[in-house]
Structures are given as C-alpha cells and as structure tokens.
Structure 1
Amino acid sequence: MEQLNKQDAPPTTSEIGVDLGLEYFYYDSNGNHKENPRYLRSSEKDIKRVQRNIYKKKNGSIGLKKARGIHARKHLRIAR
C-alpha cells in the first residue's frame, strides 16, 4: 500500500534531549522550556464557587443533584 503524504526529511546530525517534569512542562538540551499549565491552580476559584453553591441547596433536592453534577464535571476537567 502506498503512502500519499510521505515526506523525506533531510539527514541531520543534531540531537536533542527532552526532559518532562513538574517545574517545567518540558525542558530541552538547547535551553528551551515551557511552563507547566497547572490546571488545578487556575480552576480553584471555580471549584470554590461551585462548592459554596452545593452547601446552599436543600438536602435531597433536584437542585442539589444538579450542583453536585456541575462540581463533578469541574473536577473531571482538571483530572483529564
């Protein structure tokens, strides 16, 4: 079977090392790095607001179920 999108790259002798870590998302041997996105830190304010909303609802109500679902989706987004 023939590949339609095949491109030949020119031969090169340069090599690069990449380190994935906690402080930086990646850091390579050329000194380039990218900051870690830290999704939890940026979403903490949303989670706080949604948790407060849960505590305002009456036990056993439909509104409490909905609020818990919203809270679960916020945590799921961070986890993914």
Structure 2
Amino acid sequence: SFKQNRRDITRLGITASKRVGNAVKRNRTKRLIREFFRLNKQQIPKGYDISIIALRVTDALNICTVQEELGALLLKNDNPFS
C-alpha cells in the first residue's frame, strides 16, 4: 500500500508471512525487497510510506524475480504514486 507521509523521505515497511517459509526464507525475502528499493530509490518519489507484504514465495526467488514483480507494480507508466 502507498500513503503520503508529508515528509521529505520515503519509508518502507516489509512484512513476510509465515507462509513464506522458515525464518531464513522470510529474512531472505525481506533482504531482496530492500535491495530492490535501494537500487531503484531514484525512481521512487519522496514523501510516501510504502508497505509490502510477502505472502508466498517460491524457492527460485532472486533479485531478478523481485525486480520483475515489483518493477511491474511500482515503476510502470501509470505510476501508483500519482
């Protein structure tokens, strides 16, 4: 979800459900999501609170998969921030 926070920074909250897997898989999922935001922070406007909830993940999850999925959601032409 996206919500304006009336600040000069964008904050990120990540939650990984137990359905994702054990603690190792949940932490890896959160690390990959944080890495996506680190690599794309110039393209994400400032002043938003972003909440990401990972519900299920496959074993083949890598940064390319995260880039495709979140990139399609956040960086597409009809920007959810506008």
Decide: shared fold, TM above 0.5.
Answer: no
Pick the structure with more strand per residue. 2
Pick the structure with more helix per residue. 1
**TM norm structure 2:** 0.27
Larger Rg: 1 or 2? 1
